Structure 1
Amino acid sequence: MKNRVIGIMGAMPEEIEGVVALLSNCVETTMGQRTYFSGQINGIEAVVVFSRWGKVAAATTVTTLIQQFNISELLFTGVAGAISPELKIGDIVLGKRLIQHDMDARPLMAQYEIPLLSKTYLESDETHLAIASKAINAVIENRSLHAVIGEQELLEFNISQPNLFIGDIASGDQFFSKNEQKENLKAQLPNVLCVEMEGAAVAQVCYEYKIPFSIIRTISDAADDSAHIDFPSFIKKISSKYAAEIIKNIFKIL
């Protein structure tokens, strides 16, 4: 049986800092312009790394985790822009299905279908979805975030009580900062909750290597004309704290 080693990827450097702080016996390994932090969280082997931005970079990073660090499962945390009008800044989306919104090999195959895999959506398995869901709900219900994020910072982003949503996440090599982008995606993929730049690529690599994965995204902006204004501040003050609290709770359940 394969030893349990959990890979943890963060979409921003700030988002892995708090997770790295959870590691005991931390060892750093540098390869491919990335630094991998190995150690234990709650007695379980883990490797933490900044994914870098975009689908190719993230796919490269998770491939290294699989081939060089022999991970048995993968957790990915990061921010996303809201596509569904139900989502508010500070809400958390857990990916049930991942799709690459910029995949288009027509007329050779249907739009969004991944070449050679004959798949459009990549699904997280029910077991890991349930674990992540339980951990995130515990963070929300226990108001853990309010203990690690100052009241002023929460007020700044109008965050009072975050909610968990489980559903479709779309990934592509675009930062959504225009209303037109958002409306076009909603028209084409009406079930998508949020959009980001890495999750579906990571899910594809995990699928091909038979590695279970969980993609967890915190809503940082509305994926519209205001996205660039709030984004850097949100990463520093909010999402980095979310990542550490969620990962900590997942490891309590495992």
Structure 2
Amino acid sequence: MPIRAAALCMGSLLLTGTASAAEEQGRVAVISAFAPEWSMLVEALEDSRDDTLNGVTFVTGRLAGQEVVLFLSGISMVNAAMTTQLALDHYDIDAIVFSGIAGGVDPALDIGDVVVPAQWGSYLEALLARETPEGWMPLPFVPTDFDNYGMIFPRAVEVMRDGLDAPERKFWFPADPGLLDTARAVAAEMDFETCIEGACLGAPPEVVMGGNGVSGMAFLDNADFRDYVARTFEAQVVDMESAAVAQVAWANQVPFIAFRSLSDLAGGGAGQNEMGTFFALAAGNSATLVTAFLAAMD
């Protein structure tokens, strides 16, 4: 049955312990960006315990038969990278699962659909070029990798991890193939909510497996830039955290997957942004799929 949205005041969480050293118990890290996404997963936990690390609440317990640690990444890329690394430093994490909402940039997708990309990139990692009478001027010593949008020239980053002798230029960070296979098998059996508080979707939500997701430190609500993102990165979905978590997972060599349900169309809708109407429905659909996915994990 779908997990339904429920209000949860952050202040009501009682911190019953303080984590001070890495656990030996292997867990799946289940991350959401902000409280409305997170609360419906926390309420389903069994034998939960709250810890605090550097002011961040981590809740351990069992969810759908898995030993998990749930926490909020915080909104945006730096917050997401910091909290994910903090969890990896203090818990024995076997896999990282992100559950949350996002903006749809692929015109073939609708609000409520859940997208599970095969890879994630930071699309606002870029050179901001100067304008000259001849046009925008790229720099020969700052390599770029994609077509520009005005002064914005997206580029890969140099990254390191164990096993590399030198930094590697990398834009896309992959989801784990095995986790994607599990999600694909579960997706075929899903049934999602279609209405919330009198607002209904035009069609039943679908799960979209594979493809590309992009993340950046901006809330996208612009039709023209949405079209650019869909075309340039062949992206289905845009958010503000997943690529950062994917990069941290890659650097630590921990399997990663993200489930993102569309709460809005990133500026592509006919009227005002749809997130205010559909974010709870979208968050519930993502949490429903994540719970089924956890139950199916080895």
Q: Which amino acid aligns with 2:223?
A: N
**Aligned with residue 175 of structure 1, among 219, 224, 238:** 219
CA shift for structure 1 position 250 = 1.2
When structure 1 is superposed on structure 2, of 198-207 and 11-20 the one drifting more is 11-20
Alignment check: 8 A CA contact 2:104 2:110 kept: yes
SS in 2 for 1:118: strand
CA shift for structure 1 position 171 = 0.6
CA shift for structure 1 position 233 = 3.0
State the percentage of identical aligned residues.
21
SS in 1 for 2:61: strand
Unaligned segments of structure 1, at least 5 residues? none
Greater helix percent: which structure?
Answer: 1
Alignment check: 8 A CA contact 2:33 2:74 kept: yes
Provide closer, same or farther for how the CA distance between residues 225 and 94 of structure 1 changes in structure 2, counting only shifts above 3 A: closer
CA shift for structure 1 position 228 = 6.0
After TM superposition, the structure 1 = structure 2 runs for residues 98-109 of structure 1, keeping only pairs within 5 Å, are 98-104=120-126, 107-109=141-143
Q: Which amino acid aligns with 1:223?
A: A
When structure 1 is superposed on structure 2, of 111-120 and 225-234 the one drifting more is 225-234
In structure 1, the partner of 2:102 is 80
CA distance in 1, matches of 2:99, 2:250: 18
Per-residue displacement from partner, 1:170-194 (whole Å, max 9, x unpaired)? Answer: 11111011113213323432x1111
**Aligned with residue 204 of structure 1, among 247, 264, 276:** 247
In structure 2, the partner of 1:131 is 182
CA distance in 2, matches of 1:12, 1:134: 28
Alignment check: 8 A CA contact 1:89 1:157 kept: no
Unaligned segments of structure 2, at least 5 residues? 1-23, 128-138, 146-154, 159-166
CA shift for structure 1 position 80 = 1.4
Q: Which amino acid aligns with 2:277?
A: S
Alignment check: 8 A CA contact 1:7 1:46 kept: yes
**Aligned with residue 6 of structure 1, among 15, 28, 35:** 28
CA shift for structure 1 position 39 = 0.6
The CA RMSD measured in Å over matched residues stands at 2.1
TM norm structure 2: 0.75
Per-residue displacement from partner, 1:122-148 (whole Å, max 9, x unpaired)? Answer: 111210111122223322xxx2x24xx
The structure with the largest alpha-carbon Rg is 2
CA distance in 1, matches of 2:260, 2:217: 16
Alignment check: 8 A CA contact 1:55 1:172 kept: yes
**Aligned with residue 230 of structure 1, among 274, 286, 292:** 274
Q: Which amino acid aligns with 2:60?
A: S
Alignment check: 8 A CA contact 1:19 1:247 kept: no
**Aligned with residue 47 of structure 2, among 8, 21, 25:** 25
When structure 1 is superposed on structure 2, of 225-234 and 57-66 the one drifting more is 225-234
